[in-house]
């Protein structure tokens, strides 16, 4: 008997709900994520997506021209292929998703909805979810809303001009925090777990098998909120060359800055794709590929050159990476 395909290959063969023609930057990781969400939700259930305002919204829903969502014309029997998209202000995607779920539950309760219970998926930027929208995100999680949220972590408010976001790594340059801030970013994974999420994960689509499993698990979580943080290299805001999106996605995990992580409430979780301390690539390897860290270190003739006087700041970033891995291990055991 043929062996089953790994999840990501099986997803790759499904019908996508995010289609070409969108206006996201070349190599934008948000786009890669949306394709995976599009494929993973082709599972026989109707899908409702809710989007706040962020790059992924304004560049994919541009009335009257480019609407990049949908699985094309389908006959009514294929209700499970259908897709609803609701978009609203910035911080609203978890709240609107929660409302969609409530309506679906009522319709199911009175017998008006006979089809399988829909996939309800919220998409948001990290600014939308973790800066201005933090309170709505946490309350949605705390109410155990049965939705999945994918948060695109590009560490800036990209859509409005690369302003500082509280998820930014120390010393990452942004338009409103030139040269970055020395403080550690907020512990987004910890916040979601502490608020009571049923499933919390962090993962880059660059680790295709891991990410597909996480997406599948998030979309099928039925006992509360599933939150997936997706580190999203942003070519325009981070200023890197073409062809590095996936590589940066991988390095973000391997250096310990954004390790792959997954945890189901009440069960031990796992921290993945980050080698043990000592075997980890140093953070410089990640930083020198992005001009948002140019003031700390840059590549000169293939060699890493640390800016004189910034060695201490670099050590601080390295220390954050190492502490971050240890903290995630603690959350995994929580």
Partner 1 sequence: MTIDAQFLRQRLESGASVDVRGDGKAGGGLVLVMQSFGAALATHPELDVQDWPLFSSARKGANVRAYLRLARGEVLTACQITSPTVAVLMNEAAGEEVDFAEGTHEALYVVNTPASPEEAAQKYRLGGRVVTVSADQLGQKYLGRPLGNVGVLAALVHATGFVSPDAGLESLLHVMKKRRIPQRLVDQNAELFRAALTESRVGDFPADPSTDHRRPAAHPKTDVPAGAQSALRTSRKNRTSGYGRPGVRVEFHDETNRCNGCSLCVVACPEGIIEFTPDPRGALVTGAKFDDFCKVCRECIASCPLDLFHEVETPMRREGVLESA
Ligand X SMILES: Cc1ncc(C[n+]2csc(CCOP(=O)(O)OP(=O)(O)O)c2C)c(N)n1
Residues near ligand SF4 (CB under 6 A): 24-25, 28, 30, 55, 59, 154, 158, 234-237
Are 39 and 74 in contact by the 8 Å Cβ rule? The answer is no
**Complex with ligand X: residue 88 or 220, whichever CB lies closer:** 88
Single residue of 108, 184, 187, 247 touching partner 1 by CB under 8 A: 247
Q: Is the dihedral of CA 123, 127, 133, 138 positive or negative?
A: positive
Residue selected from 7, 41, 53, 93 as contacting ligand X according to rule CB under 6 A: 53
Identify the three-state secondary structure at position 126.
helix
Window 38-77: residues binding partner 1 (CB under 8 A): 38, 55, 58-59, 62-66
Question: Residue 104: what are its φ and ψ, rounded to 5°?
Answer: -60, -40
Q: Which does 247 bind (CB under 5 to 8 A by kind): ligand SF4, partner 1, ligand X, none?
A: partner 1
297 three-state secondary structure: strand
> What is the rounded distance in angstroms from the CA atom of residue 274 to the CA atom of residue 204?
12
What's the token pair of residue 237?
Answer: 């805001």
**Applying CB under 6 A, what is the total number of residues that bind ligand X?**
19
**60 belongs to the binding site for ligand X (CB under 6 A):** no
Could you tell me which of 190, 150, 153 has the C-alpha nearest to residue 169? Answer: 153
How far apart (Å, rounded) are the C-alpha atoms in residues 97 and 120? 6
Q: Which of 107, 152, 159, 189 binds partner 1 (CB under 8 A)?
A: 159
| Binding flag, residue 182, partner 1 (CB under 8 A) | no
Residue 267 touches partner 1, criterion: CB under 8 A: no
Tokens of 254: 């391997």
- Closer by beta carbon to partner 1, 27 or else 94: 27
- List residues near ligand X by CB under 6 A: 53-56, 89-91, 125-128, 152, 154, 156-160, 165
């Amino acid at each position: 008997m043929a062996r089953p395909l790994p999840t990501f290959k099986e997803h790759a063969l499904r019908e996508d709900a995010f289609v070409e023609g969108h206006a996201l930057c070349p190599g934008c990781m948000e786009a890669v994520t949306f394709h995976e969400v599009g494929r993973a939700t082709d599972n026989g259930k109707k899908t409702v997506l809710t989007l706040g305002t962020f790059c992924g919204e304004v560049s994919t829903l541009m009335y009257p021209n480019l609407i990049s969502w949908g699985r094309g014309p389908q006959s009514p029997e294929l209700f499970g292929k259908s897709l609803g998209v609701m978009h609203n202000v910035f911080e609203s995607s978890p709240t609107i998703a929660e409302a969609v779920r409530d309506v679906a539950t009522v319709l199911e309760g009175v017998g008006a909805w006979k089809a399988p219970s829909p996939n309800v998926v919220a998409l948001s930027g990290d600014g939308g979810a973790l800066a201005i929208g933090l309170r709505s995100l946490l309350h949605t999680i705390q109410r155990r809303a049965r939705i999945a949220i994918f948060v695109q972590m590009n560490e800036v408010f990209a859509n409005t001009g690369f302003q500082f976001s509280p998820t930014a790594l120390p010393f990452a340059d942004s338009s409103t925090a030139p040269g970055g801030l020395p403080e550690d970013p907020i512990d987004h994974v910890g916040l979601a777990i502490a608020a009571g999420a049923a499933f919390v994960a962090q993962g880059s689509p660059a680790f295709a098998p891991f990410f597909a499993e996480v997406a599948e698990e998030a979309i099928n979580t039925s006992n509360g909120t599933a939150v997936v943080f997706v580190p999203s290299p942003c070519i325009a805001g981070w200023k890197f060359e073409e062809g590095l999106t996936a590589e940066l996605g991988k390095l973000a995990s391997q250096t310990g800055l954004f390790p792959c992580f997954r945890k189901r409430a009440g069960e031990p979780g796992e921290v993945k794709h980050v080698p043990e301390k000592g075997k980890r690539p140093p953070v410089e390897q990640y930083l020198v590929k992005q001009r948002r860290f140019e003031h700390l270190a840059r590549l000169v003739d293939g060699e890493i050159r640390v800016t004189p006087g910034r060695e201490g700041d670099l050590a601080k970033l390295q220390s954050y990476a190492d502490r971050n891995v240890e903290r995630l291990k603690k959350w995994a055991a929580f």
